[in-house]
Chains A and B, each alone.
Chain A
Amino acid sequence: MSGAAWVFMAVSWAFVIGLNIFCLSRFFRKRK
């Protein structure tokens, strides 16, 4: 697997995982 492929896969994974973590963290945050 080429370096560029690794980079694009890693960035894409980071994006979707980040988006999910953001949503989950807001989801479980206690409402004021």
Chain B
Amino acid sequence: MGETGTREVWGTRLGLILAASGNAIGIGNLLRFPGQAATNGGGAFMIPYIVCLFIFGIPMMWVAWTIGRHGGRYGHGSLPGMFDRMWRSPLAKYVGVLGVVLPLVFVLYYTYIEAWCLGYAWFSFTGDYLNTPGHTVHLTTYYSEFLGEAPTGTYFPGLTAAMIFMGITLVLNLVVLYRGVVKGIELLAKVAIPLLFLFCILMAVRVFTLSGEGTALEGLNFIWKPDFSRLGEFGVWLAAAGQIFFTLSIGFGSLECYASYVRKDDDIALTGLTTAATNEFVEVIFGAMIAIPAAAVFYGASQIERVASAGTYSIGMISMPEILRSFPSPEFFGSIWFLLLFFAAFTSSVAVSQPVMAFFQDELTASRGKATVWLGLLWALGVLPVILFYKYGVLDELDFWAGTVGLVFMALVEVILFAWVFRAARGWQELNRGAMIRVAPGPFKFVVTFITPVALAFILGGWIYVDVVEKKKLTPKPKLAIWLADPAQHVGTLGNAEVAGDDANTSFAKDFERSLKEQATEAKADGLIEALVRFGADGAVEVTNIHASGSLASETNPDRLERYLRGRGYQYMEKASSREHGIAMDREVAIIVTVLYTAPYIWMARGMILAFGLLFLFLIKVAWKRRGRGLTAEAAA
């Protein structure tokens, strides 16, 4: 079998580079990078970061582009076919199943996050989360209600809004995929990437012209101030390796898929390097210029650490709206910020879905329309549990298996196949055919044969150790949370005061939480405690009414709840302005304690991945059987 000549090819080189950059540039560039840098040694973080870029970031980029163009030459746009061409073993195509299942599982939840960004762009445009007299919008609750995590329905009565924005996002993605590589993906990249740059510049100018509690430079100082003492920590190197891995979109099979639409003698060496360079530009320059400096301006230098360590989504979806709504034109700048995140995610999600499209088109000879319908059905079916059971941790579970462990494992398999089975020397020749830059053969072969596999094994081992051994992530745990029952009625929120060394109450609080979780586990059901609580400015807590249901039905003793709230230092707090720390107030409020029994949903998420795996293993078997028959018929003719 030679070149098929029927597959699409990229329209222009610029279009290809923009599309590949769009694949790499995602939400992580703007939200994950600054947080990671700031909390892992500041400027010193760039040392392991750049080392990782050279020892496996750029090499893996080249490996992916080479495997992709090589596979594309034989009509394969996804890893089952690509691996089959590299490794003459009947197993090869089945190993490649990872390159279809992982991106499919990844887009299921990634497009949901993309839908949040679209939703928030709309809420910004309409001013939905702005505070008005008599109506306070607590952004944490707003976010939790939008995703169906909070037991209240003050801002969003149900999951309708989340479903609508997910539906729109799904349709947008499918339209682009249906239009094909040139008229869909390439056109989207040509519009979205310049817009993304424009929005980044607008946001950076906005942030650097604001004045508030602190200055934007204090934010930059927080990100870039080097702390060399951290360089000896295993965790800092692991964080840098992880950031490089995620930011370049290695291990999704999408780079390989994009490369399969390159003509056989067109350059891939410079294209791969340019993709990495553009991605680094957005990450290192723009990523550090928006969210953290904005937090420094608004909250002041002393509080940036709290904002940065709250996590990627908290910075983007809670802190940024809080900041933007406190300055003029929140509707405009809020929309720009969330559209920026949306476009960054959109260009990545179409890229990551394309291997699945390519699998249907190339291996099952489906038309583009049919492939879009099949993908759309799998996507719509698969995203439903992500939306409906978000509060039980389904998204995080899929992210752990597909977006964390799975990706590194696949990249490791890929580089081993490339360097040890396909052979690095042959790989280098393939990479350099038609290349616009010359990649030095000696260092390339040495790095991909020895250094990159070891680096990837190090990340995989490190993550498995941290998540499985230290955090014991394999055992599903019940989730406990505490909420205000009527958030819009109160200016303040529930906050935790410093607990002044009352060891008896603190240890009681821990035991109480453990006991609630055990009750949920034994009853295999969720539980709820609703209570009226009088909080005092002096730290006093009095439960005046209590009602419990579900697995916590027996938990009706007000004294226990009182002691728990005291042990955890819960108080009702109001802020003079949203910048400042809350001040404890005398107030009677209704609270809800929820304990969610997550195990069935976690196992359902794992089952989903397994089901997708088995489905695609079966489809691979069918595709190759059909191909075998086709070849026999051809030979007979």
Interface residues of A (CB under 8 A from B): 1-2, 4-9, 11-13, 15-17, 19-20, 22-24, 26-27, 29, 31
Contact = CB atoms under 8 A, between A and B. Distances in A.
A20 B225 CA distance: 24
B46 A8 contact: yes
A8 B285 contact: no
A17 B284 CA distance: 10
Contacts of B50: 15
22 contacts: A1-B217, A1-B218, A2-B225, A4-B225, A5-B224, A9-B220, A11-B46, A12-B46, A12-B224, A13-B284, A13-B285, A15-B50, A15-B284, A19-B273, A19-B276, A20-B277, A22-B277, A23-B274, A24-B274, A26-B436, A27-B17, A27-B270
A11 B44 CA distance: 11
A5 B277 contact: no
B280 interface: yes
A15 B46 CA distance: 11
Interface string B201-234: 0000000000000000110110111100000000
Nearest to B276: A19
B530 to A, nearest CB: 49
A22 B280 CA distance: 14
B437 interface: yes
A17 B226 contact: no
B334 interface: no
Nearest to A10: B224
B42 interface: yes
A11 B495 CA distance: 41
Contacts of A12: 43, 46, 224, 284
Contacts of A15: 50, 284
A28 B296 CA distance: 40
Contacts of A5: 42-43, 220-221, 223-226
Interface in B30-47: 42-44, 46
B225 A23 contact: no
- Interface size for chain B: under 10, 10 to 19, 20 to 34, or 35 or more residues? 20 to 34
A2 to B, nearest CB: 6
B225 A27 contact: no
Contacts of B42: 5, 8
Given A1-B221, A27-B274, A16 B280 contact: yes
A19 B281 CA distance: 9
B278 interface: yes
B217 A16 contact: no
Contacts of B17: 27
A5 to B, nearest CB: 4
Shortest beta-carbon contacts, A-B, top 9: A8-B43, A5-B224, A23-B274, A1-B221, A5-B225, A9-B224, A19-B277, A1-B217, A16-B280
A1 to B, nearest CB: 4
Contact of A17 (B13, B43, B274, B281): B281
B436 A19 contact: no
Task: Classify the secondary structure of A's interface with B.
Answer: helix
A2 B223 CA distance: 11
Given A12-B224, A12-B284, A16-B284, 19 more contacts: A4-B226, A5-B220, A5-B223, A5-B225, A5-B226, A7-B43, A8-B43, A8-B44, A8-B225, A9-B288, A12-B46, A13-B285, A15-B50, A19-B276, A20-B281, A23-B277, A26-B436, A27-B436, A29-B436
A11 B288 CA distance: 14
A23 B270 contact: yes
Contact of B270 (A6, A8, A26): A26
Nearest to A15: B50
Q: Which of B43, B226, B270, B278 has the most CB of A within 10 A?
A: B43
Nearest to A17: B281
Contacts of A24: 274
B277 A16 contact: yes
Contacts of A20: 274, 277-278, 280-281
Contacts of A9: 43, 220, 223-224, 288
Contacts of A13: 284-285
Contacts of B276: 19
Contacts of B436: 26-27, 29, 31
B25 to A, nearest CB: 13
A28 to B, nearest CB: 10
A20 B278 CA distance: 7
B208 to A, nearest CB: 12
B324 to A, nearest CB: 23
Contact of B280 (A19, A27, A31): A19
A8 B273 contact: no
A24 to B, nearest CB: 8
A7 to B, nearest CB: 8
Contacts of B220: 1, 5, 9
Contacts of B437: 26
Contact of A8 (B218, B224, B280): B224
Counting chain B CB atoms within 10 Å of each CB, the highest count among A12, A15, A17 belongs to: A12
Contacts of A19: 273, 276-277, 280
A32 to B, nearest CB: 10
Nearest to A11: B46
Interface in B255-296: 270, 273-274, 276-278, 280-281, 284-285, 288
B58 to A, nearest CB: 10
Contacts of B280: 16, 19-20
A21 B217 CA distance: 26
Contacts of B223: 5, 9
Contact of B226 (A8, A23, A27, A31): A8
B44 A16 contact: no
Interface in B406-461: 436-437
A2 B217 CA distance: 10
Contacts of B284: 12-13, 15-16
B466 to A, nearest CB: 26
